[in-house]
Each structure stands twice: as C-alpha cells, then as structure tokens.
C-alpha cells in the first residue's frame, strides 16, 4: 500500500499540474462570462513557446532556462489570448467559434514556425527540462515525506498554490467580486459602474497566461519537445475540469487532480491489485464520462455563470 501510494501520488501531481493551471485560466475566463473553448490552443501556444525559448536560450541561461521559459510562455499566452478577447468581447463574435479558431490557429502557427525554423515537423528534445527534486526538510518527514515531497516536480506545487491564490482573488477581493458579477449579470454590473469589457478582457488575458503556463509546464515536464501532437486534448480536459469543478478554482483543482489520477492510473495500474484488471480504455474515457454525468446532475448540479457565452452589448436588453 505504501509503495503504491509512493508511486501513484507523484505521478498524479505530475499529470495534474498542467491541467490545474490551464483549468484556473478557464475559471477566470468563464466566471467573467466568456466561454473559452480555446484553452487547448492556448496550451499549444504555451508548449510551443516554452520549448522554442528553451532550445534557443539554454546555452546562455543554464539551469534557469526552464523557469524563464515558462514565464515567457505565460506572457506570450496572454498576448495570444487577446485575439479571442478582441473577437468575442469587442466584435461580439460567437465565443465558441472564436475558441475553435484559436485552437486551429495555435496548432497552425506552432507547426508552421517549427517547420520554418527547424526544417522538420518536430523540434529537438530540450537540454534543460524540469527535473524531479526532493524538497529539503519536508522530504525527511516519515511516511508523508517520501510520498509527497520526494521525486516530485516543483511546478506541481506551484500549480496547487496558484489554485489557492486564484480562489483568494476570485472570492475574497473586490476585483474577484466584480469579475464574477460581470459573468452573472453584466447589465447590473455595468449599472454599478463596473467596466464590463475591461473586466472581461482582464479575465481572458489571465486565461491566456494560465493556459500558456499550463502548456509550457506540460511540454517541459512530460514531453520535452514540440510537434503537432504534443497537446492532444489536455486543453479540453482542463475545460472539463472547469465544469466538473463547478467553475470554482478549488473545485477545478480537485477535478484536475482527479483527472490526473485517472490518467496516471492508466500508466501505473499494472502494479495495483484492484485496478490491473480494468481495461485501460475505461480509465481513458473516465474524465469525459464523469463530466457528462456531472452536467446531467448525477454528481451534484453544475451551474454555469449565468451570462456565460453572451456578448454584452451596452444598452440592449
């Protein structure tokens, strides 16, 4: 049992971190009333930038490279999400359509530039990915230490901490209250002097930043290079985590951990008695089936922010 936990928990954290980060982005965007199907594309962009920056500057920056790479990917993700923001907030475009276009655009740009810059469909492996570490002091605690703090990625803990930060911002600050108000009832918020468009822009840009961060963490911990098939579905799984977590940062974190658990089960299930007989396919589809069940009300009702997906046009009822 102890061995099983020690093999499973670091793996869960490892697979969940990118999902948690991206899902937090989704929570910000959707809480402000902008549907973000484009999370997948934002992750692609983050993965692409993270890998390219890492490959280009690893000689100059040494062991700092992965950290600076994810910061740069965060910034570029934020900028890239502006396209979605402009289309869906300023131009009143259908937000789902715009998100679909973001997904196509990100893969197109990523692979196009990879071919132009590297002359082939995928990049080389990076020299400076993230490595597992043990957290000093904490790893020495008996039982808990080896399970939670040995052989883990620091990025996993950053993701968990950011989830709490996001919760604090959304539920304990005036900014968070305004952001949620804009997503529930933009007209009422507007009447109270909250700038609806500005709040929504900030929320979408935050989702781009988190998506870029999530994508780059995924690329630099799990795959170490970029190609058209680096990100296949992680963004949509993050979106599922947003909904399964009922549009709440901590809920999304829990859902992402659960999905990470399901994913890691398909990797380590062979060693765990009860699970080794379950066909892998059930573990693969579990997150999606559960999301549908959650939406259908079997696992507590999932209620979307009321104005989610509706453009706000000043003066119209």
The verdict on 82 binding other proteins (CB under 8 A) reads no
Contacts of 36 (CB under 8 A, 6+ apart): 25, 26, 29, 30, 42, 84, 95, 99, 204, 207, 239
Residue 169 or 304 having the CB closest to other proteins = 304
CA distance 55 to 77: 18
The verdict on 296 binding other proteins (CB under 8 A) reads yes
In angstroms, the first-to-last Cα distance of the chain is: 59
* Least spacing, CB of residue 196 vs other proteins, in Å: 17
The tokens of 52 are what? 């390219």
Q: How many residues sit close enough to other proteins to count as binding (CB under 8 A)?
A: 47
With CB under 8 A as the contact rule, which of the stretches 83-91, 188-196, 253-261, 270-278 interacts with other proteins? 83-91
The tokens of 193 are what? 């002097």
Residue 156 or 230 having the CB closest to other proteins = 230
The verdict on 300 binding other proteins (CB under 8 A) reads no
Contacts of 234 (CB under 8 A, 6+ apart): 18, 19, 22, 40, 43, 214, 215, 218
- Indicate which single residue of 4, 59, 64, 92 sits in contact with other proteins (rule: CB under 8 A): 92
CA distance 52 to 49: 5
Residue 273 or 297 having the CB closest to other proteins = 297
Tell me how far CA of residue 304 lies from CA of 39, 67, 70, 108, 250, in angstroms. Answer: 17, 35, 30, 31, 16
Restricting to residues 232-291, name those near other proteins by CB under 8 A.
Answer: 232-233, 236, 239-240, 243, 279-281, 284-285, 288-289, 291
Residue 105 or 169 having the CB closest to other proteins = 105
Restricting to residues 107-126, name those near other proteins by CB under 8 A.
Answer: 107-109, 111-113, 115-116
The verdict on 104 binding other proteins (CB under 8 A) reads yes
The verdict on 51 binding other proteins (CB under 8 A) reads no
Angle at 314 between CA 101 and CA 84, to 5 degrees: 15
- Indicate which single residue of 105, 169, 177, 267 sits in contact with other proteins (rule: CB under 8 A): 105
| Residue 161-200 contact track with other proteins, rule CB under 8 A, x = bound | ----------------------------------------
* Of the candidates 56, 31, 14, 72, the residue with the CA atom closest to the CA atom of residue 213: 72
Measured over the CA atoms of residue 257, residue 262, residue 268 and residue 269, the dihedral's sign is positive
* Least spacing, CB of residue 306 vs other proteins, in Å: 13
CB 255 within 8 A of CB 241: yes
CA distance 258 to 6: 17
Residue 35 or 43 having the CB closest to other proteins = 35
Residues that bind other proteins (CB under 8 A): 35, 37, 83, 86-87, 91-94, 96-98, 100-105, 107-109, 111-113, 115-116, 228-229, 232-233, 236, 239-240, 243, 279-281, 284-285, 288-289, 291-292, 295-297, 304
């Amino acid at each position: 049992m102890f061995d099983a936990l020690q093999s499973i928990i670091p793996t869960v954290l490892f697979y969940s971190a990118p999902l948690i980060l991206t899902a937090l982005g989704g929570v910000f965007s959707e809480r402000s009333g902008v549907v973000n199907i484009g999370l997948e594309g934002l992750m692609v962009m983050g993965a692409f930038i993270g890998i390219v920056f890492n490959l280009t500057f690893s000689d100059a920056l040494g062991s700092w490279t992965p950290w600076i790479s994810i910061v740069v990917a965060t910034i570029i993700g934020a900028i890239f999400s502006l396209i979605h923001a402009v289309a869906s907030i300023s131009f009143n475009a259908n937000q789902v359509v715009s998100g679909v276009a973001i997904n196509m655009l990100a893969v197109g740009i990523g692979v196009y530039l990879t071919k132009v810059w590297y002359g082939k469909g995928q990049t080389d492996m990076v020299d400076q990915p993230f490595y597992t570490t043990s957290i000093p002091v904490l790893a020495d605690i008996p039982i808990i230490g080896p399970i939670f703090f040995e052989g883990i990625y620091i990025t996993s803990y950053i993701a968990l901490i950011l989830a709490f930060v996001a919760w604090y911002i959304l539920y304990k600050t005036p900014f968070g209250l305004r952001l949620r108000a804009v997503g529930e009832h933009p007209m009422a918020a507007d009447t109270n002097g909250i700038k609806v468009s500005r709040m929504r822009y900030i929320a979408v840009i935050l989702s781009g930043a988190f998506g870029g961060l999530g994508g780059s963490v995924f690329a630099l911990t799990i795959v170490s290079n970029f190609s058209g098939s680096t990100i296949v579905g992680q963004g949509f799984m993050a979106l599922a985590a947003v909904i399964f977590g009922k549009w709440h940062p901590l809920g999304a974190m829990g859902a992402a951990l659960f999905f990470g658990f399901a994913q890691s089960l398909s990797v380590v299930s062979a060693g765990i008695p009860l699970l080794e007989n379950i066909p892998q396919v059930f573990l693969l589809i579990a997150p999606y089936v559960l999301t549908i069940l959650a939406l259908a009300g079997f696992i507590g009702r999932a209620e979307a922010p009321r104005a989610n997906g509706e453009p706000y046009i000043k003066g119209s009822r």
